[in-house]
Structure 1
Amino acid sequence: MPRVIWKGAVSFGLVHIPVALYPATRSDDLDFDWLDRRTMDRVGYKRINKTTGKEVPREQIVRGYAYEKDRYVILTDEDIRAANPVSTQTVDLLTFVDAAEIPFLYLDTPYFLAPDRRGEKVYALLREALTRSQKIGVANVVLHTKQHLAALIPMGPVLVLHTLRWSNEVRDWSELDLPEEGTKAAKLTAKEIDMAEKLIDDMSGTWDPAEYHDTFRDDILTLVDRKVREGRTESVEPMEAETAAPRSGNVIDLTDLLRQSLAKRGKGKGASNDDDAEDEPAPRKRAPRKAAAKTARKTATRKRA
């Protein structure tokens, strides 16, 4: 059972739903320790006073807001909670929108919301109403002394509170050098679009997260296990690459790549037509091996002469 991060209420209109907030994800990153190469001693993280250069104990660290250069106001957790007690205890729903209206760029961190203090019925009421209307809620919430924009999303039996990035936190892609929208502007042919759509259709399936694995993590752990079994617990060596990286060229035959992809997926025959045959150059005829060998012997005889 994950620990409760926060307790409060979901508020929309005159309805208040007591809820408890739980983490919806967990980190499964590889945990590397920093080591001193000379002694293999662990290297720790320290909080250093930038003036004295000495380590500062955790209990002596406070939160300060710089209102002027080198001038701070100290704020405790109690100060922040007292400044606006309502906002720190409420998921305040502002509006309801279609889920497709929020781009993936804005999604940040998901949390589970569970009913608390006999709030099961109103919790179920909001969940079912959102599901039937195919809407999600947009809300304000304060977590860890910071206000977040968030989306309230029904997912099966649970309500998910997914924090969102503010608009100023999402970069504008207009600064990037991107091909113009539309097939004509990008100089794409109808054949290329058709073959790409066929490839996408052939590779389409249903979303099952259990089918996907962190293969990099698995390979690293396999390497660690092999080193342990071989007794090489202090050596450092690069991993051997199993496959060479493909070389990039200046000219890409997009149609040929799509055709090869479709053929590899088992639809190469259906993707070919008479026009494709005309596009491809006829293969050159090879001389018989005996004739080629005879020519080589004559050439060698002339050189010796």
Structure 2
Amino acid sequence: MPNAIWKGHISFGLVSVPIVLYSSEDKSASISFRQIDKRNNARIKHVRINAETGEEVPWEDVVKGYEYDKDKIIVLDNEELEKLAGENAQTIAIESFVDRKNLEFVMIDKTYYLVPDKNGEKGYVILREALLDTDKIGIAKVIISTKEYLAAVAVYKNALVIYTLKYDDEIRKLSEFPIPSAETKKYKISKKEMDIAKQLVQSMASKWKPEEYKDEYKEAVDKLIERKMRKLPVKAMKKRGEATATATNVIDFVSLLKKSLASKKAAKNDKKYKTQRKRKA
């Protein structure tokens, strides 16, 4: 079970549902690199240095600051920020409901799963089914890691999810870019060209199956790492091999136990069946 982002409530009208917020992103599926010094392969450490004293600053002395002018900073400590957030820090209050079709992909920042907390199942299901039946999404605000996000509460399969959204002023306007206008006549596109383009689109149409798409770059990097591991000195390879063998043995052992348990149950059921037949005979 992944770690929760936070626990709180989602509310609409007078209804309040206890929920737990989880990130939908599985970071273990991505490649994680460390920064190293190529001269001796040593890890590079990043430290917090005081710009005036040159000394390292411990985490407990780090606070947030807003630079309103060069070298002029207003300090904001965590207690002040938490006080400003108030109850909103633990509440997702739906302010309105809009048609689902109004949600544009360009607005979406991240996705989080909402899971009902203790005694929250009924309210959770009521909200989910209401959104499905009306084809609506809830517009709310949520504070995650001291930042307030505009958010859309929607249904994904049988779960409620939250899409954190970019505010309108955070999205660049299309007018900033030389995008071709909607007036297609000015581009002198012939009917034949459009017909062929449509035929091509139709010929390439398929059912959306996200599980069929893999991160090919990650797979290539994995193979590169594997090739480099094979070239490591024998001692290093032995250590890695031993660890791998241990892990493999654990998996095989569990597999054998499950197979043994299944065969025992099958044998027991077979014996019970034969006994019943003898009694009937």
**TM-score scaled by length of structure 1:** 0.71
The more displaced of 48-57 and 166-175 is 48-57
The answer for unaligned runs of 5 or more in structure 1 is 233-305
Aligned residue runs from structure 1 range 36-51, under 5 A: 36-51=37-52
Structure 1 residue 66: Cα displacement: 4.4
Structure 1 residue 193: Cα displacement: 1.1
Q: Which has the higher helix share?
A: 2
Aligned residue runs from structure 1 range 1-305, under 5 A: 1-27=1-27, 28-66=29-67, 70-76=72-78, 78-231=79-232
Change (3 A) 1:108 1:71: closer
Deviations 1:118-174 (A, max 9, x none): 011111001001001111111111111111100001112210011000111100121
- Runs (4+) of structure 1 exceeding 3 A deviation are 65-69
Q: Say whether the 8 Å CA contact 1:67–1:73 is kept in structure 2.
A: no
Distance in 1 of aligned mates of 2:157 and 2:36: 45
Deviations 1:253-300 (A, max 9, x none): xxxxxxxxxxxxxxxxxxxxxxxxxxxxxxxxxxxxxxxxxxxxxxxx
Structure 1 residue 55: Cα displacement: 2.5
Structure 1 residue 57: Cα displacement: 2.2
Change (3 A) 1:45 1:187: farther
Distance in 1 of aligned mates of 2:34 and 2:75: 36
CA RMSD of aligned residues (A): 1.8
Structure 1 residue 83: Cα displacement: 2.8
The answer for unaligned runs of 5 or more in structure 2 is 234-281
Deviations 1:186-239 (A, max 9, x none): 22211111111111111112221110011011111112211222349xxxxxxx
Q: Say whether the 8 Å CA contact 1:183–1:189 is kept in structure 2.
A: no
Give the aligned partner of residue 268 of structure 2: none
* Counterpart AA for 2:24: A
* Counterpart AA for 2:76: I
Distance in 1 of aligned mates of 2:178 and 2:193: 22
* Counterpart AA for 1:155: Y
Q: Say whether the 8 Å CA contact 2:108–2:164 is kept in structure 1.
A: yes
Q: What SS does the aligned partner of 2:186 have? A: coil
Distance in 1 of aligned mates of 2:49 and 2:201: 53
Q: Which protein has the larger Cα radius of gyration, Structure 1 or Structure 2?
A: 1
**TM-score scaled by length of structure 2:** 0.77
* Counterpart AA for 1:173: L
Query: How many residues align structurally?
Result: 231
Q: What SS does the aligned partner of 1:56 have? A: coil
- Percent of matched pairs sharing the same residue: 39
